[in-house]
Chains A and B, each alone.
Chain A
């Protein structure tokens, strides 16, 4: 079936630490992959995306590479800030449909 699996949170890091949040997917076809971020009290905001294998999405210092061979789209950031504290959702589409499949979300807490 089609699904998205994220690492369980919460993830607690010190400021300037390296961040990795794992995401793997199962899918038929060739999905587009996304990372969304949800800050407290807000809706989801698109952080980055990749639409085909080997594409790298990047934004605000965050990066993720679409790895077809490992069906992964791990989120990374070299140096996190307190303001990065939020819930991060991995998601995918399937060609020709309106459906987006989301992971359960990973809460990140960055300490000063």
Chain B
């Protein structure tokens, strides 16, 4: 069966520091991969998605970036964190087709910027 791992679970970082969140998927190949951010008490906002190695689509302009160095690895990064980057970050995967495939989420990373 497929599993998704996301780490770390919790992170406290100072303003201006770099960021690297990692997500890996097991048990499937060539998944679609996603990064979402959730502000407290709010819905999910799609940040990036990827349909293959090296293919990244950005949905929201910001100081974050994403990379997919391997088929089942998705990384969210920042060179200099802002206070507004605080939130709950979720990685997800889905099969590319058919369209009724749900997205499956990792356990998330709670990021606090001080």
Bound together: no
A residues whose Cβ falls under 8 Å from a Cβ of B: none
